[in-house]
Amino acid sequence: MRFCPQIEAERQDMPTTLQRELSNEASTLPAANTNEILIPSLPAGNGSRPSALLRLALATGALATMEYAAAFEASGYAMAVSLFTARGLVLPSPRAGWKRRRASGSYLPGHDDLHHAAAVAGAHPAAEARLVGLGDKRVLFSSDRQAFIMYARQNGQMIALFDPVGDRRYWSQLTTDFMAQAMQEGRTPVFYQASESFLRYAESLGLRGYKLGERADIDVAGFDMKGKDWANLRRAINRAQRDGLEFSMVESQAIRSTMPELAQVSDIWLKETGTREKQFSLGRFSADYVAAHPVAVIRFEGRIVAFANIVLDDAGTSAFVDLMRFIPGVHRGVMDLLMVRIIEALQARGVQKLNLGMAPLSGLSQTQYASVWDRVGGLVFRHGNRFYNFEGLLSFKSKFAPQWTPRYLVVPRRANPFVSAAAAAVLIAGGWRGIVGR
């Protein structure tokens, strides 16, 4: 195995320790149809056939240019694909290298386990823990079943979502059990969207964190729109209301009657934006899931044109906005109005914190000392907007003055984080077709 001339020249400029690390990691990757582990990028072309390039990647084990890497983003999370492309790395073919392990005792939670996990999640101070209720994740309980880790298996990785759910006194045993189970199955243990608090703890167990982006948390109790900094948003809200947009909150018990309208908005949004339903770290539109939580809606001329479902914890102090969908072209201020009115409605209920989700790849270091992970992530963030609106999403969430908190991919120190990130991207997208179909 050898390096191609372009990559070899770049490798020679790296520190000796990084050269050795790169060589060691590259030696573990299968080289499909070539004796070079690292190959030059393919010609850019006109960028109109990402699906053809994906077929080429799977057939030869190679990905093309940085420009096309963004086409394989799964809602901004497939940073690994971008790295492989930018560096000319060979991506292991699923047939060649990512064979699924079959584990004894592997199962999705049954009704009783799912109900119990949902109860534990409801008492947890982070509302997003309630994503366990979707039923698409496995659950590893603590010995007394008062805490759990939710996870899924993908491409030789065992991927946990968020921090362990439950009191922190359970973190040690749960994390140790999770890592032991993964290693027993021959998988890499991965924690996806872990917090800084968990990262500090995980480092003592030989794990390492790689920043995925930053999460936007709104201080609901302290939110107001006074002052000149809010002038533009106030004008947008006032204009939307003058033009006839109306906000209301539909409680869970009344949602069934509006479900056909919500489903129609969801279908139009998916079609017009060229987006596919996601899973694992994001909810999917289903009647049972949508009806389980309050839904905020915007109506125009009597019909629903935008909505968002609001997931609340049992105490009513923490909330999470999951599905946000609208009919494109109705009004430029529809989402501004929806979000402001959601915050105000939650404020009236006594909610303290609202999680708006991540801004993928934001906040990565771009100094001369930044890691390869951060440098490539920064490139994708700045130049990948053709296929995913990284900067637009960050700009939209920034309108509401959130507190930005980092979120990490956490893996064993000797593991390849880019392989783990690629597996997470495929998992969230529901497969390779989901990555191509955004």
Mean pLDDT throughout 191-200? 94
CA distance 198 to 21: 26
Indicate the angle between helix axes 79-87 and 417-429, nearest 10 degrees.
130
Domain count for the chain, please give it: 2
Contacts (Cβ under 8 Å, ≥6 apart) of 314: 122, 123
Same domain flag for 239 and 317: yes
- Rounded distance between C-alpha atoms, residue 347 and residue 354, angstroms: 10
| Helices within 230-362 (DSSP H only) | 231-242, 259-273, 287-291, 334-349
Q: Is the Cα torsion angle 236, 238, 243, 249 positive or negative in sign?
A: positive
The dihedrals phi and psi of 85, each to the nearest 5 degrees, come to: -70, -50
Instruction: Let me know whether 346 and 375 are in one domain.
Output: no
Q: Quick one: 408 and 304 in the same domain?
A: no
Q: Of 324, 351, 378, which closes a domain? A: 351
Task: Give the Cα separation of 70 and 211 in Å (integer).
Answer: 18
DSSP 8-state assignment for residue 90: B
pLDDT over 90, % of the chain: 48
Distance CA 389, CA 298 (A): 23
pLDDT band at residue 23, thresholds of 50, 70 and 90? low
* Residue 140 DSSP SS3: strand
Give the range among 26-35, 87-96, 229-238, 268-277 with minimum mean pLDDT: 87-96
pLDDT tens-digit map of 244-271 = 999 999 998 899 999 999 999 999 999 9
pLDDT at 433: 61
| Alpha-carbon span 432 to 85, nearest angstrom | 16
Q: Say yes or no to pLDDT of 65 above 80.
A: no
Rounded CA gap, 125 and 316, in Å?
Answer: 9
CA dist 155 and 187 (Å) reads 9
For residues 278-297, give the mean pLDDT. Answer: 92
Residue 27 is predicted with a pLDDT of 56
Please indicate, yes or no, if residue 201 is contained in any of the structural domains.
no
Is residue 333 included in any domain, yes or no? yes
Other Cβ atoms within 10 Å of 384 Cβ, number: 24
pLDDT band at 216 (very low <50, low <70, confident <90, very high): very high
Tokens describing residue 371: 């890691």
Let me know whether 329 and 272 are in one domain.
yes
Q: Which residue has the tokens 């997208």?
A: 429
Q: Residue 383: is its pLDDT beyond 80?
A: no
The two structure tokens encoding residue 302: 């009597």
Tokens for 162?
A: 């968020």
> Domain check: are 323 and 364 in the same one?
no
Collapse the DSSP code of 375 into the 3-class scheme (helix H, G, I; strand E, B; otherwise coil) and give the result.
helix
What mean pLDDT comes out for the span 70-78? 36
Residue 231 burial (C-beta neighbours within 10 Å; 0-12, 13-18, 19+): exposed
Residue 117 lies in a domain: no
Residue 188 lies in a domain: no
Give me the domain span that covers residue 241. 221-351
Residue pair 283/134 in contact (Cβ under 8 Å)? The answer is yes
**200 in a structural domain:** no
Query: According to the model, what pLDDT value does residue 22 have?
Result: 55
> Looking at the DSSP assignment, which residues form a beta bridge with residue 252?
none
Query: Could you give the CA distance from residue 353 to residue 199 in angstroms, rounded to a whole number?
Result: 22
**Domain-ending residue, one of 294, 321, 351:** 351
Residues in a beta bridge with 257 = none
Q: Give per-residue pLDDT as tens, 320-351.
A: 999 999 999 999 999 999 999 999 999 999 99
367 shares a domain with 328:
no
Reduced to 3 states (helix: H, G, I; strand: E, B; else coil), residue 207 is strand
Determine the average pLDDT of the residues in 273-280: 86
Return the bridge partners of 321, or none. 310
How much is the pLDDT for 200? 87
322 and 371, same structural domain? no
Burial string for 140-152 (b: 16+ CB within 10 Å, else e) reads bbbeeeebbbbbb
Residue 315 tokens, joined:
């105490």
Q: Structure pTM?
A: 0.74
pLDDT of 275: 82
Work out the pLDDT band at 135, boundaries 50, 70, 90. Answer: confident
Q: Are residues 333 and 375 in the same domain?
A: no
Residue 142, pLDDT score: 93
350: left (phi over 0), alpha (psi -120 to 50) or beta: left
Looking at the fold, whether 346 and 225 belong to one and the same domain comes out as yes
Q: Which residues pair with 188 in a beta bridge?
A: 157
